[in-house]
Structure 1
């Protein structure tokens, strides 16, 4: 029995009172989404042997029950007003940086799933590239330079010239395309290889193609694709890839359905699969983390380093620094040492808790004795020292890499200087980087966010025009920065208009924090109509309801001094339960209902 339970031994005295809390199992059934209303009335009992039913849990030894109760307490604390996040806003907002440290990949869905390294495994599963190093292939260059939207002509020409088209070259090109989020071209490469019979597909190829379909066309198309895959290749890798995509999109219903499908197919339960659930529940329902951990213990699924990253981050986000340190000690006892991402998570939570000395000690560990030899750590150090407000240290680290910087070093310096209110210096480094490299929209969003945070509307508009003139593809990060730019300028209606255009004209799924930024502004005004519009828009975009959404929506009714009829029922239907703060809001808003009735009687 693995030793993570040590983090919860202090709760042993609560064992006898644990029975009535969330019954027993992970309850992997749909709980939200309007379009799946019938699923909400399904039985909540899960027959999966890997999940514990109520009678099984009640009969377990006290130590195991303590383990579960401990994490339930963590979950209940997570919704309290004292926490750094209300209930897990994931994309954007003040907690983006912690999410970024949960993986080695970049933004959005990929950054939460660094374990889905299909392209690395395809070339050589025994080797890992050192941080920041990426070998390019000639095939990749030919694909990138292909004119127009189709890459077929470039691939045909490649073959006609008798150039190498080995599996190694193909997968190296695929990795380069993925690294740059060129999913469309990566998918075309697979299509061309398949139609021209240039590659004998194995399970990892089918999984990689499925991953691209999920990213480009959605999880439903990806699930449909599985039916076309030969039966012998429909294994755990294929389904875990689909599961990871559903989880990265915060789609609770789809994730749990795919998980149960894996159970029905009797596929192996792995730490990767469990990590997808842990990441999803860390954001949407922390109370269920306990169930996943208990399941892992029962099924002898050993946590990996990535598992510990999630657990450390969850404790830190709940302001439980002692618990965070206990998880860290348990991890070390199991033979794991913190990597750069985990060290960054620890440093950020120490900084947020005001424990600056502890944060600085970790930064010294990251730096080591010779930073020039560890230059790959510069970007992380620059950002973390900016969090601490140490401008001198930011400047010192930047000088180490200034003569030969990477793109990420430059962007980290821009971000850090912006945070330190050194706008002109940030602009100078950005201009240098833009001349040295062809920056994409995501890179430009770093400077755009600085303009938004400092209410520099005109400069923000100029940057957007430059991006448009260069033909850069505008993504969720840029829209997020643009929306906040107008909000900071007091133009909420303009921000709302931009959001609606992004959805309607470009078919974009905005970031969660983009919606919340507008919702909060309407709520402050007491604009119930527009608050409800944004709230419903979030549901249509696929975001499952969270406590913070209801909290903000209720505040709109409070500020408007009108009753929110049926709000408790709406929360219950979405399996959302009020914490102390929301309970107080509900009492306030219900008082308006009494006044409204009194007015009618008068």
Structure 2
């Protein structure tokens, strides 16, 4: 019956588990008779086959068949389960345990049930472990499995079930060792029931169960938590030299002494803490406590030990800065802040600079504190709301300089940290820290639009800004808000007209805003009207307006007007934007001026596309002008390699060698930071070759014509200039002269 229940529970566990357990199998080798050695061999098979994706049961079955009918030693399987469990491979250990039960390898003992309970709890959870516990016959429920169940409940802080299990163990007579008592003491400690801890300790004494190190440490922590120094010191004195104080126990006892004002005893206890292994989480607490009970040397000693762990975090830095400031070591805190934390690469923790800023203020270093706060708020890594920082900045009667806040808001805007900038602007306004100017309202209007949207920006303009504050900067900001979308073009035009009524059209900025909107909407006529109005008011267009005007003309293919303004403004140092160049290039392409498009486009990809189109349209009739345009454009776009390749394929127009084409490349190579003499010589050599080839073709054509028309003519003198610069005179018939020219020219090459 017991075996049937266990097998049924095994099948339910396998069905419950959603994870497939995969292993490979071995087929070679024999198994020794030693249980530990045999288990090691089996375990090595499982380890080596971990990537083979074969079920672990196949490995076990193959191993079983290799025994050739021999009785399997259960110790081998038990050792395997133990090794897998110790290496944190709980699922695999549970699979082996399932297989062991399914094949009835042996009669199960208490240790088998306990091991299986722990595996089930770890892999499948406490509920499945409880079901397994209920399936175990009562005569097999020993101390170990009850203790394991009790420990599960204490970890979960399930007081009712833990007390019920402890009561059952008491009634059965299984409370024979400290472990179950320690579990209950830990649970009562966690739920602050000191009286229950005393009851457990009394019961241990009554049952002659010896206290162990864990028992004493738990009791000391309980007494420390309620500041019962008398009971704490009495218990420690009784067990001094017998048990080892844990790190957390020493820290809790030091806290108890500090609460009682006993700094000397607290420091002594902290020094004892250093005798034990200090876990990483305890360093921050140790630093904090030394700040209350020790000296600067203590803090720096612990900090040096902490740095040796190479696991520094913000908790440690916060504890260090807090302690150094308590010990009046502002210089030390400042040095570590800038030399260690600022460049540590840790996640930004706003509390750390706030601690240092508070230290500055306590010393009267208000300007240092303000600068640190500004730097902290500007930090782009700090994405959380800055209200807490601002409150810290403005509390205790600190005077916030208007220039600081205006500079801060501007810097946050420039770095596009609009939510922070708006929070700072709102904080200034709500607390009436200083008198606001129209420019302050304009800045806040801009921020509200960016963060909260147009509707809230309009509400702020209409309800929160008084008429006497609505100057040029406020209206200009509102106009910019409206000109960002064609949906608000009517409001933009109304605002522009209002600014004209108020006499605010004094510079190019409002024109710029409206022209940009009209340009995007392809409203060329309105753009040109505004340009005329600027001329009437003697307002010179800036570079942005020039680009908008050129673009809108390009959009509608108003080529004559576009080129007119382009020529005019190029004399005024016009700088074409990428969008403008691309728009003009498309306009030129649309009207068939491919070479002009090549010259103006901003994209190498477009240059090659247009060049391919040009070559397709001019097969057999490629012009020098085309090569000049494409090479010049590629060099402008820093594609020297591409320009060189185009030059290599260039064939001069018939009878015309254009020296400007190689000059483009030669000039570029000469301008490079490291003069490229080799490439310059290559270009010159190739140029001479192309020139000689052109001259040869010319002479051939002349000779053909003269030979065809002039045979039989008398003797004539003829001067022949060779390509090398040498001149010779040939006398004879024209036919002979022509023949001589051909031979001379041919020989010169």
Range of TM-score over shorter length: 0.3 to 0.5
TM-score, normalised via structure 1 length: 0.39
TM-score, normalised via structure 2 length: 0.32
